[in-house]
Structure 1
Amino acid sequence: MRSLYSILIIVTFGVIQFIGVPLQIYFAITNPDADVMEIIQMYMPYQFGIYVFGLIVVLILGNIHKNKNMFELGEKSTPLMTIVWVFGGLVLAFVAQFVTATINIKLLGNPEESANTQLIMEMITAMPYMAIFVAIIGPIIEEYVFRRAIFAEIYERLPMNRVVSFLIAGLISGLIFAVAHFDFTHILVYLGMSYVFSFVYVMTNRLLVPILVHMLMNGTVVAAQVFFKDAIENLEQLQSNIILIGKVIMSVF
């Protein structure tokens, strides 16, 4: 029965991802002169409502089942250790993002900017209420889907030692997590973050921990882009200038 609820959680996520497509098409057809961002602005209030409804459904499905998984039955981390794992997980998530982003750019040659992140920041700039979606609603839904309904179900069923089971379950849930963001040049980055979220879930037996880590990470990124955008751009310009000076010096010597 628990597996059925997990499947329904995944189906709910898929439905809220695509149910608004006809409405987007309608706005595009009825507003032929509108650009992409204008169409998104027309559609987003409806998408916001769809995700709020989806969040309610996911929370119900994720908590009404009686057959608990091994994490739900396992010994929970103490309140103090839960706090430690939340903030430690946040540090791990940013480290994983930095390492995977560096590999993604330097070794794989993918673009530095994530198209998905860039679009999200543009939406938040145009529609500030979308910050609630990015920092709160999205992380809760995604952790129920990718950690509770996918990772935990796979991890518990694999007949291997726990390290191998973790790596396989984390890989599968992480790849689906990455694909769900429609940002295929940054799959490695999403995979790295997904492994961190899965790790803190395993270490604490509390789904709340990866939810909070995910929320804090998204919230930090949003806050940095909204409140410190000019400072970030100045730092990026300074970095570019330093690299340019270094190249000039190297060419002289």
Structure 2
Amino acid sequence: MKKDYWIILIVYIVMQFSIFIGQPLFQFGFQNLGKNIILAGPAWLVFSFTVALIIILFILRKERHAPGLRGNKKSSVSQSIMWAFLGFFLALFSQYVAAIIEQLLGIKPGSENTKQILKIIDLLPLTMIVTSIIGPILEEIVFRKIIFGSLYGRFNFFISALISSLVFAAAHMDFQHIIIYTAMGLTFAFLYVKTNRIIVPIFAHVTMNTMVVLVQSIYREDIERLQRELEAIQNFIGGFL
């Protein structure tokens, strides 16, 4: 793995754990300014993710003209645009299939990770930029470009995509829905290999996250009601089995 990639991984990991230092600092600052200290956590989230993105993009500034995976030629701009839009629907489809599999396995619908994200957005709407745009960009750079790309240089697609997708799923700390996260990781890895342009899975990921956040925010009560109904149906069927 390139030295720059190791630096990017370190920056990403430090960003993830910086909340333990950054939030208390922001709380102290907010308190002195007479602001609500509850906003310190979400504010630090926006700050740390933005700084990390700037640093990582600066490190990757020379990668724009680099060859694709395994030295393969990158797809044309028109092909990349086509796969970017198709990738969004492919990501939704894979998530839908994974959700069905989870239901068949008796896993309750609804993600605790998503619920926590929505709570943070309620506190500070600006964090929607992190969950919808900055977060997906960083994840595609780290989990697809660096981790998957490095593995793909040594192993076949399936092994590389599966390992990187499992790491991607584990990073979300929502192990109950690891099938959904793994399915998403496999989809984005496929888009990356298909086009040899990291911008393609980035676009699909950003678009999907933005849609999910907007739908969950606008139709939250309806979604929660449907989830309760689904759980009731699962319990009813389970009673007969």
Q: For residues 86 and 215 of structure 1, do their structure 2 counterparts lie closer, same or farther at Cα, with a shift above 3 Å needed?
A: same
2:78 alignment partner in structure 1: 80
Taking every aligned residue pair, what percent have the same amino acid on both sides? Answer: 36
The answer to whether the 8 Å contact 2:73/2:196 transfers is yes
1:182 alignment partner in structure 2: 173
Q: For residues 206 and 124 of structure 1, do their structure 2 counterparts lie closer, same or farther at Cα, with a shift above 3 Å needed?
A: same
Rg (Cα) greater in structure: 1
Return the offset for 1:197: 0.4
Q: For residues 130 and 69 of structure 1, do their structure 2 counterparts lie closer, same or farther at Cα, with a shift above 3 Å needed?
A: same
Q: How many residues align?
A: 231
Alpha-carbon distance between aligned partners in 2 of 1:99 and 1:123, rounded to the nearest angstrom: 28
Q: For residues 121 and 72 of structure 1, do their structure 2 counterparts lie closer, same or farther at Cα, with a shift above 3 Å needed?
A: farther
Match of 2:145 among 131, 148, 164: 148
1:41 alignment partner in structure 2: 39
Flag structure 2 segments of 5+ consecutive residues without an equivalent.
28-35
Alpha-carbon distance between aligned partners in 2 of 1:184 and 1:27, rounded to the nearest angstrom: 30
| Alpha-carbon displacement from aligned partner over 1:54-77 (angstroms, at most 9, x marks no partner) | 001111222336994543843222
Q: Are 2:190 and 1:199 equivalent residues in the alignment? A: yes
| Alpha-carbon displacement from aligned partner over 1:131-185 (angstroms, at most 9, x marks no partner) | 1111110011111101111101110123xxxxxx111111111111111111111
Q: For residues 65 and 214 of structure 1, do their structure 2 counterparts lie closer, same or farther at Cα, with a shift above 3 Å needed?
A: closer
Alpha-carbon distance between aligned partners in 1 of 2:45 and 2:223, rounded to the nearest angstrom: 30
Q: CA RMSD in A?
A: 2.9
Match of 2:109 among 109, 112, 120: 112
Alpha-carbon distance between aligned partners in 2 of 1:228 and 1:114, rounded to the nearest angstrom: 15
The answer to whether the 8 Å contact 1:10/1:145 transfers is yes
Task: For 1:54-69, list aligned pairs within 5 A.
Answer: 54-64=52-62, 68=66
Alpha-carbon distance between aligned partners in 2 of 1:239 and 1:179, rounded to the nearest angstrom: 26
Q: Which range moves more in the overlay, 41-50 or 6-15?
A: 41-50
The answer to whether the 8 Å contact 1:24/1:39 transfers is no
Alpha-carbon distance between aligned partners in 2 of 1:4 and 1:191, rounded to the nearest angstrom: 27
The normalised TM-score by structure 1 is: 0.80
Alpha-carbon distance between aligned partners in 2 of 1:182 and 1:17, rounded to the nearest angstrom: 12
Corresponding residue SS for 1:110: coil
Return the offset for 1:122: 1.5
1:15 alignment partner in structure 2: 14
1:228 alignment partner in structure 2: 219
The answer to whether the 8 Å contact 1:121/1:222 transfers is yes
Letter paired with 1:13:
Y
Flag structure 1 segments of 5+ consecutive residues without an equivalent.
29-37, 159-164
Alpha-carbon distance between aligned partners in 2 of 1:240 and 1:110, rounded to the nearest angstrom: 9
1:31 alignment partner in structure 2: none
Return the offset for 1:235: 5.3
Alpha-carbon distance between aligned partners in 1 of 2:64 and 2:195, rounded to the nearest angstrom: 20
Alpha-carbon distance between aligned partners in 1 of 2:129 and 2:64, rounded to the nearest angstrom: 31
| Alpha-carbon displacement from aligned partner over 1:209-231 (angstroms, at most 9, x marks no partner) | 00000000000001111233345
Return the offset for 1:239: 6.4
Corresponding residue SS for 1:51: helix
1:53 alignment partner in structure 2: 51
Alpha-carbon distance between aligned partners in 2 of 1:79 and 1:67, rounded to the nearest angstrom: 14
